[in-house]
Amino acid sequence: MNRYLADEAATNALAEEVFAALPADLADWTLLLSGELGAGKSTFARAFIRAAGHEGPIPSPTYTLVEPYKFASLSIYHIDLYRVADSEELRYLGYNELDDGLCLVEWPERVPELANDADLILELRYEGDARLASIRGLSERGSALIQKIN
Ligand SMILES: Nc1ncnc2c1ncn2[C@@H]1O[C@H](COP(=O)(O)OP(=O)(O)OP(=O)(O)O)[C@@H](O)[C@H]1O
Ligand SMILES: [Mg+2]
């Protein structure tokens, strides 16, 4: 699925749409957010986390690697792998010990193996001052979700 995102509000709206299309039980879903520096990965993640009900600041996980958000019946982990070298380092940093929850992963290309267990990949590209988004399913349930929002 491709979508032209004219401005930041359009990126936010897409994040809200994806969140609304997900099933109630989000545990163990993984969404990969791909694209160059400044393409809008964090913008999407922040709008998604707000759509889940979080109020207040949403700091960048670039240095902490993982920022957790706990809700009554769900956790969201906002992850940024920009500074991570490979899957071994990610394991060392404790990625495999995260409790159940939905993972939003920026810079997933740092650890290509992540795609094996992911559900969706959002790729953001510059289109002049705007952006082009492409969303693909990486799992059966991910592909079903794309059909729903198409
Ligand atoms: N559809 C859009 N059109 C134009 N500008 C946008 C759009 N979506 C987001 N932006 C703007 O682009 C910038 C994106 O910054 P953001 O931090 O989200 O990028 P990022 O992909 O997370 O970058 P990084 O690789 O550094 O983590 C913000 O200034 C935001 O306002
Ligand atoms: Mg970012």
- Nearest atom of ligand 1 to the alpha carbon of 35: 21
Whole-number Å distance, alpha carbon 33 to ligand 2 midpoint, is 9
Whole-number Å distance, alpha carbon 102 to ligand 1 midpoint, is 22
Residues in contact with 100: Cβ distance below 8 Å, sequence separation at least 6, in sequence order: 27, 28, 75
Global pTM reads 0.97
- Nearest atom of ligand 1 to the alpha carbon of 39: 21
Query: Is 150's pLDDT higher than 90?
Result: no
Determine the distance from the C-alpha atom of residue 1 to the mean position of all C-alpha atoms in its chain, rounded to a whole number: 16
Q: What is the pLDDT of residues 84-109, one digit of tens each?
A: 999 999 888 888 888 889 999 999 99
Q: What is the pLDDT of residues 41-77, one digit of tens each?
A: 999 999 999 999 999 999 999 889 999 999 988 899 9
Q: Which ligand is nearest to the CA of 82?
A: 1
Whole-number Å distance, alpha carbon 38 to ligand 1 midpoint, is 4
111: number of CA atoms within 13 Å, CB side? Answer: 23
- Asked if 107 contacts 82 with a C-beta cutoff of 8 angstroms, the reply is yes
Whole-number Å distance, alpha carbon 39 to ligand 1 midpoint, is 5
Average pLDDT, the chain: 94
Residues in contact with 44: Cβ distance below 8 Å, sequence separation at least 6, in sequence order: 11, 12, 14, 15, 33, 104, 122, 124
Backbone torsions φ then ψ of 14, nearest 5 degrees? -65, -40
38 lines ligand 1 (CB under 6 A): yes
- Asked if 73 contacts 40 with a C-beta cutoff of 8 angstroms, the reply is no
